[in-house]
Amino acid sequence: MAKVTSKLQVTIPKALADRHGIEPGDEIEWQSAGDGIRMVPKALATRPGLAFRRRLFDLATERQRQRERERPLPREEGPRDWTREDLYDGRGSSR
C-alpha cells in the first residue's frame, strides 16, 4: 500500500509500474471514478482505438477461460426440484 506524502505525492508500486509500462518521467492522468480515483498513464488516457480494445477484450476472454478451466462450475446432478416461477412466486411478474 502506498502513502501520500505531505506534498501529496504517491509512489506507484514497482510491480504495477512494470505491468503497465510506466517509467520515470512518464505523465499520468488522475480521474475521478465514483468513490475512488483512477490513475491512467497519459499514453492510455485518450480513448484507445478499436483494434486495441478488441485485443484487451480477447485477453480478458482468455483469462476468463483459463479461470474456468482451473475451477469449473459444478454441474447439476439431475433434475432440479424448483422452477423459475417458484423463485418469483409472490413478487409480481419477472422482467
- Secondary structure of residue 56 in the 3-state scheme: helix
What pLDDT, in 10s, does the model give residues 13-44? 999 888 888 889 888 888 888 899 988 887 66
**Spatial distance between the Cα atoms of 87 and 10, rounded to a whole number of angstroms:** 49
Q: Judge contact between 38 and 31, C-beta under 8 A.
A: yes
Q: Judge contact between 71 and 63, C-beta under 8 A.
A: no
- Secondary structure of residue 26 in the 3-state scheme: coil
**Spatial distance between the Cα atoms of 24 and 70, rounded to a whole number of angstroms:** 37
User: In the prediction, which pLDDT does 46 show?
Assistant: 62
**Spatial distance between the Cα atoms of 90 and 83, rounded to a whole number of angstroms:** 14
Q: Judge contact between 15 and 36, C-beta under 8 A.
A: no
Please report, rounded to a whole number, the percentage of residues in the chain having pLDDT higher than 90: 20
Is pTM beyond 0.75? Reply is no
Task: Reply yes or no on whether the pLDDT at 94 is more than 60.
Answer: no
